[in-house]
Amino acid sequence: MAVAQTVNYWLTEHPKIVNFRWSPTQSYASTWSFLVTAVSSYVIAAVTLHLLLTIILRRRRGLSLGPIPALHSLTMSLISAVIFVGILLSAAAEIRDTRWLWRRTRTTALQWFLCFPVGTRASGRVFFWSYAFYLSRYLHLLRTFFSVIRRRKLSFFQLINQSSLLCISFLWLEFSQSFQVVAILLTTVSYAVVYGYRFWTAIGLRGACFPFVVNCQAVLLGCLTVCHVGVLCMHMVKRGGCNGIGAWLFNSVLNAVISLLYLKFYVKTRSRSMATAVKPT
């Protein structure tokens, strides 16, 4: 019981969590200029590194990074798990504290998860963990550089995917966008599993007999698509609509682009996997 109370305090009731407020003057990396600079620097650095290694190494294989990728995967899995638990407990606390207000607007917990009331500000427990998720996106960018250094491989999809997800998580906070609680819950639980699996295989343990990571990402995109449809329906039905719907529309366009690129990548991966399986020995 004492452990549960301690965890609950540090993940939901700590003053910095309860009193959090997204602000350009109070929150690190919370300005548009920082976002644009970060995305531009990421793309330029990744492309430059890829070109330099291609020129220097030529036909040689990529360089070894030792245990760094495995440690990164373990770190990202743990961070994702903490964010998942934190935002889940924080959402429960917000529902408990504001249920009395929802009765006036006839809002249910399910509606709140998908559709914030108009006028919602980016402050409090849930947005603290949304901010933590946004900052964690910068750590995800390192995988691109690992891929370039180890395999001398840089894909257009990887650059677009990482850049878009960083922008999307910024928009969630900047416009107090609806749908972000569900999106973060689904994404972090997926990342906790995927990065845990990557750590598992990186230390030499046996992997799955099917493309585990690709399938997990496909399931995540499918779930997010269903939730996007739910937000649209909620916005059309609910009086006043959902908060941050303009940012949600832009978010939806980016997600559609990512989904199309990923679908192409998924079909290509599955075709290659099936071709390998039927290849005569």
Determine the pLDDT at residue 112: 83
Determine the pLDDT at residue 104: 62
Determine the pLDDT at residue 28: 93
Determine the pLDDT at residue 138: 97
Determine the pLDDT at residue 252: 86
Show the tokens assigned to 158.
């990887």
Mind listing the pLDDT tens digit of every residue in the chain (281 residues)? 688 889 999 999 999 999 999 998 889 999 999 999 999 999 999 999 999 888 887 766 778 898 999 999 999 999 999 999 999 999 999 888 876 566 666 667 778 888 888 888 999 999 999 999 999 999 999 999 999 998 777 888 889 889 999 999 999 999 999 899 999 999 999 999 999 999 999 998 887 777 788 888 888 988 888 888 888 888 888 777 889 998 888 888 888 888 887 777 777 766 766 655 555 44
Closest residue by Cα to residue 149 from 49, 36, 265, 11: 49
Instruction: Answer left, alpha or beta for residue 211, where phi above 0 means left and psi between -120 and 50 means alpha.
Output: beta
pTM of the predicted protein model = 0.91
The values of phi and psi at residue 80, to 5°, are -65, -40
CA–CA separation, 160 and 261 (whole Å): 9
